[in-house]
C-alpha cells in the first residue's frame, strides 16, 4: 500500500512539474486546438525553436504530446486520452481505498529503470553502467525519432542533448545497438525488430 501511495504521488508530482510553466500551458492550449509544427509554435509563443523543442520533450516525457512526420516537418498534437487519464488520477479516491479495491498493475522493466534515471524535465541524471538498464534508456531516447524519415547528424545531436549532454557517445550507442542506421552522416531509425536490446552490441568508432 505504501508503494502504491508513493508511486501515485511521484506520478502527480512529475505531471505538475511538467505543467508548472506558462509556455508549456500555452503550448497545451494551442495543441488542443490542432496539430502544430515547432516553427508554428515558436512564432505563436514568441520563443526560439530550440526552446519550443525543449518544452515539447518535457511534455512528451509525460505522454501528453504525440508527434508524426510529414515530409521534413514533424507535427505535434495533444494526446487527449493521456490528459484525461492524468485528470482522473488527480480526482480519484484516497490512495488507501484505491489500494484495497484495485490491485496495482506491475510496471514493465523499462518504466522501472527510467524512474531512477529520468528527471521530471526529461533530462537524464546519468547513464546507467549496467548494460540491460542502459538499453532501457536507449529505447527511451528512440521515442524522439520517427520511422520513415532521415536526420542529419546535427538533428540527432540536438534531440539527444535535450536529455543528456554527451550526444556523441549516445549517438554511437544507438548505432551500435542497431536502433539507428547511418550512411554518409545521414541517420534513420531502424525497425524495432532489428534492435539489439540485450546489450551485446559494440559501439562503432567514429
pLDDT digits (tens, 9 = 90+) for 156-179: 999 999 999 999 999 999 999 999
The answer to whether residue 201 sits within a structural domain is no
Please indicate, yes or no, whether residues 120 and 189 belong to a single structural domain of this protein.
yes
Q: Does residue 188 belong to any structural domain of this protein?
A: yes
- Length of the chain, in residues: 206
* 6 and 68 within one domain: yes
Establish if 180 belongs to a structural domain.
yes
Q: What is the 3-state secondary structure (H, E, C) of 40-98?
A: HHHHHHCCCHHHHHHHHHHHHHCCCEEEEEECCEEEEEECHHHHHHHHHHHHCCCHHHH
Task: List pLDDT tens digits, range 97-129.
Answer: 555 555 555 568 888 899 899 998 889 999 998
CATH of the domain at 119: 1.10.10
Q: If you average pLDDT over residues 148-156, what whole number do you get?
A: 92
Which tens digits make up the pLDDT trace of 20-29? 788 888 888 8
CB 22 within 8 A of CB 45: no
* 69 and 12, same domain (yes or no): yes
Domain range for 73 is 2-82
Q: Which residue has the higher pLDDT, 38 or 9?
A: 38
Which pLDDT score, from 0 to 100, does residue 7 have? 52
Per-residue exposure over 127-165, b if at least 16 CB sit within 10 Å of its own CB, e if not: ebeeeebbbbbbbbbbebbeeebebeeeebebbbebbbe
Closest CA to 189 of 145, 139, 137: 145
CATH number at residue 15: 1.10.10.10
Domain boundary among the residues 82, 97, 121 is at: 82
My answer on whether 58 and 125 are in the same domain is no
Over residues 183-202, the pLDDT tens digits come to 998 999 999 999 986 544 34
The rounded percent of the chain whose pLDDT value lies above 90 is: 38
Q: Does 98 reside within a domain?
A: no
Q: Which three cell numbers stand for residue 79?
A: 494526446
Number of structural domains in the chain: 2
Within-domain flag for 7: yes
Residues 115 and 190 grouped into a single domain: yes
Q: What is the pLDDT of residue 93?
A: 44
Least trusted range by pLDDT, from 56-65, 68-77, 102-111, 172-181: 102-111
Report the pLDDT value the prediction gives residue 2, as an integer from 0 to 100. Answer: 35
Give pLDDT, residue 13: 65
Instruction: Indicate whether 59 and 122 sit together in one domain.
Output: no
Residue 204 dihedral angles phi and psi, to the nearest 5°: -75, 160
Residue 92 is assigned to a structural domain of this protein: no
Q: Is residue 199 part of a domain?
A: no
Q: Residue 74 falls within a domain, yes or no?
A: yes
Q: Which residues contact 142 (CB under 8 A, 6 or more apart)?
A: 174, 179, 180, 189
- How far is residue 12's CA from residue 9's CA, in Å, rounded to a whole number? 5
Q: Given this model, what pLDDT does residue 1 score?
A: 40
Amino acid at each position: 500500500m505504501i508503494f502504491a501511495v508513493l508511486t501515485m504521488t511521484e506520478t502527480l508530482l512529475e505531471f505538475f512539474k511538467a505543467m508548472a510553466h506558462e509556455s508549456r500551458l500555452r503550448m497545451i492550449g494551442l495543441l488542443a486546438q490542432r496539430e502544430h509544427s515547432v516553427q508554428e509554435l515558436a512564432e505563436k509563443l514568441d520563443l526560439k525553436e530550440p526552446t519550443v523543442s525543449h518544452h515539447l520533450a518535457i511534455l512528451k516525457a509525460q505522454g501528453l504530446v504525440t508527434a508524426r512526420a510529414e515530409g521534413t516537418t514533424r507535427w505535434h498534437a495533444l494526446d487527449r486520452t493521456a490528459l484525461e487519464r492524468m485528470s482522473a488520477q488527480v480526482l480519484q479516491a484516497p490512495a488507501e481505498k484505491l489500494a484495497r479495491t484495485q490491485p496495482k498493475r506491475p510496471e514493465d522493466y523499462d518504466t522501472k529503470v527510467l524512474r531512477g534515471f529520468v528527471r521530471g524535465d526529461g533530462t537524464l541524471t546519468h547513464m546507467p553502467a549496467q548494460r540491460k538498464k542502459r538499453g532501457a534508456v536507449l529505447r527511451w531516447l528512440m521515442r524522439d525519432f520517427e520511422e520513415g524519415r532521415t536526420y542529419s547528424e546535427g538533428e540527432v545531436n540536438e534531440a539527444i542533448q535535450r536529455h543528456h549532454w554527451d550526444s556523441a557517445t549516445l549517438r554511437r550507442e544507438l548505432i551500435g545497438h542497431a536502433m539507428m542506421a547511418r550512411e554518409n552522416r545521414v541517420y534513420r531509425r531502424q525497425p524495432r525488430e532489428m534492435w539489439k536490446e540485450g546489450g551485446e552490441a559494440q559501439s562503432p568508432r567514429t
